A and B are shown apart, each in its own frame.
Chain A
Amino acid sequence: MKFLAARRRNPLVAIGLLLFALIAVGGGYAAIANVQPAQASVGSQTQVEEGKRLYLAGCSSCHGMEAQGTETGPTLIGVGAAAVNFQVATGRMPLAAPGAQAVPKDPTYTEEQIAALAAYVASLAPGPAIPTAEDLDFSDADVAQGGVLFRTNCAQCHQAAGQGGALTQGKYAPNLMGSTPQQIWEAMATGPQSMPVFSTATLPAGDKQAIMAYITNLQTASSPGGLDLGRLGPVTEGLFLFTAVFAALIAAAIWIGMKAR
């Protein structure tokens, strides 16, 4: 994770990832959109069927045979393709182990399989679609406005620097330093797990793009004041104070108090 995060900080890698994501998503979307361009974007019949097959094999035990939901998993009717893509592509689903919340890991399914699952779930009822390349283009977005929106809507859980934070009973809001614009969009549009939904009407595409621009800025920004101590604020500063600074001062005091040879 650390290795990945460090490499993602490199602006070139970020741009590369972004391009890759854009092409993959754009390509996938184009394929779907060709069949039925309506907002309830449903994939081709074969994709939906492949998706249903995968669904019954891998998801139905928790989410129900008809995706109606069971005691162990919520209904997927109306969650949309974006929710499926977010949960499966980040490896949160299928669940690795029962716990306070689903943890991201390497995805279990291939891109085609994920697209098929998404197409199947999207065919059940209309829901948030996977964002288009245009949706994810934040090159014209105002970073500063994104900052205001981030602090109004996101910082209370994900922390002002996007470092994540604790929720109740062991749940947590994840660190955003490795999140791609597509994941950010999908999370806002679908409200995975504890996260609430930020709908298109109350947080329009332009605002979402501004937030993406701000988070990308947080991910790639240099640290003007030197070592950033994880940008967690006074707790890590205090830890550094006592373990490093105070240790250095005491070491100096001991050196002064020692008899010279």
Chain B
Amino acid sequence: MTDLTTHGAHGSEPTRPGHLPVADVPHVLRVADTDPKAAKRVERQVSSMFLLSILLVVAFVVAYIGIDKSTVVYIPVFGEVGASTIALGLTFGASVLLIGAGAIQWAKKLMPDVEVVQMRHELVSPADETAEAAANYERGKEESGFARYKMIRRTMIGAMALFPIPLVIMLRDLWSSPVSGTLSPAEILSTTIWKKGERIVTDATYLPVRPEDLPVGGLVSAVPASLQEVQHLEGNLNARGKAAIILVRMDPDEIVSQQGDGWDYQGILAYSKICTHVGCPIALYEQRTHHLLCPCHQSTFDLANSGNVVFGPAARNMPQLPIGVDSEGYLIAMDDFSEPIGPSFWERSK
């Protein structure tokens, strides 16, 4: 949009075609504008930046080939750090940075620094063009017979409306129930692999637990004994995500209430490890206060009192797992959880 008007032009400044100098502001010449020596200096400065950039790329290649990935170097403030990453980052970063610094120095010191004016134009299209556009549209509408052929119009709108349906409907099988399509998500969420007689084993090491293994104040992150097998069969961590529990032991006198009568075993309580807020695993157990704190959103549950919420955004208490011992004296589950574990969902009734 070239504006060759002379409106507002002020004499002394050099003008370029299409541009007007800015009114009223006295232009101060830069050192390099008046002193050829200074201009030469800037030229040297800028080209040495570009030269240094070239050298740094060479240094990058040398560092890439020469420094082993595992080399560790001590740098004050940083401590012991990986030498390769630091060297590559420094050489590459500095080489790129210098191109930018050089270009900007060039622009600031040597390219013209006279601000120029360009006129704006109203964005609104001229009336004749608007009229022509409208006429074209009307003509198109008329020629197509869009208004006349009612049936065509209606069926086409219908067809267009339905056209995305196949695209959307095919998203349905993003998930299909593994059990021949019989279980709904809510039903699947409502059960875990805990069942009566399922042994409780330690997480990560899969050791069965006897009641006497757990002192008062003790904590064990635990899973069902069959988890490893299930995980292997299913090839995912879904069962683990629901069945993880914690075992804690407190003085039976300190237990204020439980979710079911006799669901503890001699002061040992088992609670789900999955938060009822949005499902973070919780094992941040304070043995003195019997509080369980979620590290994600700080919901706090009182395990001595039915796992009730004492603080934070969780609305429901942590589900408790009824436990007992088997004939060999190992801790077992007496049943599955009596309610869905983890975060709330629409279909849950409680």
Chain A 196-224 interface residues, beta-carbon cutoff 8 Å to B: 196-199, 201-204, 207, 222-224
B79 touches A167 (CB 8 A): no
- Given A222-B79, A226-B78, A260-B108: A197 and B217 interface contact (C-beta under 8 Å): yes
Is A107 among interface residues, defined by CB-CB distance under 8 A?
no
Nearest-neighbour CB distance to chain B for A177, whole angstroms, equals 12
B209 touches A201 (CB 8 A): yes
| CA of A115 to CA of B217, assembled, Å | 25
Is A104 among interface residues, defined by CB-CB distance under 8 A?
no
Is A255 among interface residues, defined by CB-CB distance under 8 A?
yes
Q: Identify the 8 closest CB pairs spanning chains A and B, nearest first.
A: A201-B213, A196-B219, A222-B80, A224-B82, A194-B286, A260-B108, A197-B218, A196-B287
Size of interface on A: residues with Cβ below 8 Å to B = 38
Q: Which residues on the A side are within 8 Å of B311 (C-beta)?
A: 168
B218 touches A152 (CB 8 A): no
A171 touches B286 (CB 8 A): yes
Query: B residues touching A (Cβ–Cβ < 8 Å)?
Result: 30-32, 72, 77-82, 85-86, 89, 104, 108-109, 113, 202-205, 207, 209-210, 212-221, 248, 281-289, 291, 293, 295, 298, 300, 311
Report the nearest A residue to B246, measured CB to CB.
Answer: A196
| CA of A251 to CA of B67, assembled, Å | 33
Q: Which residues on the B side are within 8 Å of A255 (C-beta)?
A: 104
Q: Which residues on the B side are within 8 Å of A198 (C-beta)?
A: 218-220
- Given A222-B81, A260-B108, A260-B109: A202 and B286 interface contact (C-beta under 8 Å): no
Nearest-neighbour CB distance to chain A for B70, whole angstroms, equals 9
A9 touches B79 (CB 8 A): yes
Name A196's contact: one of B108, B212, B248, B282 (CB within 8 Å).
Answer: B248
Given contact pairs A197-B287, A198-B219, A260-B32, enumerate 19 new A-B contacts (beta carbons under 8 Å): A148-B204, A149-B205, A152-B203, A152-B221, A153-B221, A167-B286, A168-B286, A168-B293, A168-B311, A196-B218, A196-B287, A199-B213, A202-B218, A222-B80, A223-B81, A224-B72, A226-B89, A256-B104, A261-B30
B85 touches A225 (CB 8 A): yes
A167 touches B215 (CB 8 A): no
Is A195 among interface residues, defined by CB-CB distance under 8 A?
yes
Q: Which residues on the B side are within 8 Å of A171 (C-beta)?
A: 286
What are 25 A-B pairs at a CB distance below 8 A? A153-B221, A153-B283, A156-B295, A157-B284, A168-B289, A194-B286, A196-B217, A196-B219, A197-B217, A197-B219, A199-B214, A202-B207, A202-B209, A202-B213, A204-B207, A222-B81, A223-B79, A223-B81, A225-B81, A226-B82, A226-B86, A226-B89, A228-B79, A256-B108, A258-B108
A222 touches B82 (CB 8 A): yes
Q: Which residues on the B side are within 8 Å of A228 (C-beta)?
A: 79
Nearest-neighbour CB distance to chain A for B124, whole angstroms, equals 32
A196 touches B293 (CB 8 A): no
| CA of A258 to CA of B113, assembled, Å | 11
B205 touches A207 (CB 8 A): yes
Is A174 among interface residues, defined by CB-CB distance under 8 A?
no
Q: Which residues on the B side are within 8 Å of A225 (C-beta)?
A: 81-82, 85
Is A2 among interface residues, defined by CB-CB distance under 8 A?
no
Q: Which residues on the A side are within 8 Å of B248 (C-beta)?
A: 196
Name A202's contact: one of B32, B214, B293 (CB within 8 Å).
Answer: B214
| CA of A129 to CA of B311, assembled, Å | 37
Chain B CB within 10 A, most for which of A157, A165, A195, A260? A260
Report the nearest A residue to B70, measured CB to CB.
Answer: A224
Q: Which residues on the A side are within 8 Å of B288 (C-beta)?
A: 193-194
| CA of A224 to CA of B85, assembled, Å | 7
| CA of A258 to CA of B281, assembled, Å | 53
- Given A149-B205, A156-B295, A168-B293: A259 and B113 interface contact (C-beta under 8 Å): yes
Q: Which residues on the B side are within 8 Å of A193 (C-beta)?
A: 288
Nearest-neighbour CB distance to chain A for B93, whole angstroms, equals 11
